[in-house]
């Protein structure tokens, strides 16, 4: 199966790979996995007091599409409010990367990673 140019671009030159300091209180983590292919994705968001995402990092073990999807969302969420980030849909990701139907679950994984990170943010702020 041929990857789209955008997928290859992100795969060969992924943006924002890595982790933040574990103890940084402004950092939340979203961990998700796709049983169908065994892909694992960790997305970390650094969120300021006003609820704006300052920075994002990811670590993904998976295929090119999964890596491209996570790389793309770290670029997209930067500068967004948590509400705006929560509105990112897997269909937006799939469309941007021109993912074929069999790779749609990679974009679902990336959307769910944002949601998981924001869930942690909410439970943290409720404390």
Partner 1 sequence: MNYFELFNFTASFDLDTATLAERYRELQRAVHPDNFANDTEQQKLLSIHRAAQINDGFQTLKNPIRRAEHMLSLRNIDISHETKTLKDGQFLMQQMEWREALEDINHAEDPDEMIDELYRSFSNYENEMTKRLIALLNSEQENDWLLAADQVRKLKFMAKLKDELAKIEDAQFG
Residues that bind partner 1 in the complex, under the rule CB under 8 A = 31-38, 40, 42, 59, 61, 104-105, 108-109, 112, 116
Determine the Cα–Cα distance for residues 1 and 113; give it in Å rounded to an integer.
Answer: 25
B/e letters for 54-85, b = 16+ CB within 10 Å, e = fewer, are ebbbbbbebbbbbbbbbbbbbebbbebebeeb
CB 14 within 8 A of CB 67: yes
The one catalytic residue among 8, 17, 34, 37: 37
User: How near is the Cβ of 94 to partner 1 at its closest, in Å?
Assistant: 12
User: How near is the Cβ of 2 to partner 1 at its closest, in Å?
Assistant: 21
User: How near is the Cβ of 30 to partner 1 at its closest, in Å?
Assistant: 9
The nearer residue to partner 1, 52 or 92, going by C-beta atoms, is: 92
The nearer residue to partner 1, 77 or 116, going by C-beta atoms, is: 116
DSSP of 13-25: S-SSBS---TT-T
The nearer residue to partner 1, 96 or 111, going by C-beta atoms, is: 111
In this structure, what token pair is assigned to residue 61? Answer: 């073990």
Q: 63 catalytic, yes or no?
A: no
């Amino acid at each position: 199966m041929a990857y789209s140019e955008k997928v290859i671009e992100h795969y060969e030159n992924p943006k924002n790979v890595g982790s933040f300091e574990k103890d940084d209180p402004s950092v939340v983590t979203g961990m998700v996995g796709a049983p169908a292919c065994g892909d694992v994705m960790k997305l970390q968001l650094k969120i300021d007091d006003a609820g704006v995402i300052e920075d994002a990092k990811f670590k993904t073990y998976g295929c090119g599409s999964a890596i491209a999807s996570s790389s793309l969302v770290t670029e997209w969420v930067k500068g967004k409010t948590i509400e705006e980030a929560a509105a990112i849909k897997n269909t937006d990701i799939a469309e941007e990367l021109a993912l074929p139907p069999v790779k749609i679950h990679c974009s679902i994984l990336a959307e769910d990673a944002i949601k998981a990170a924001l869930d942690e943010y909410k439970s943290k702020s409720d404390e």
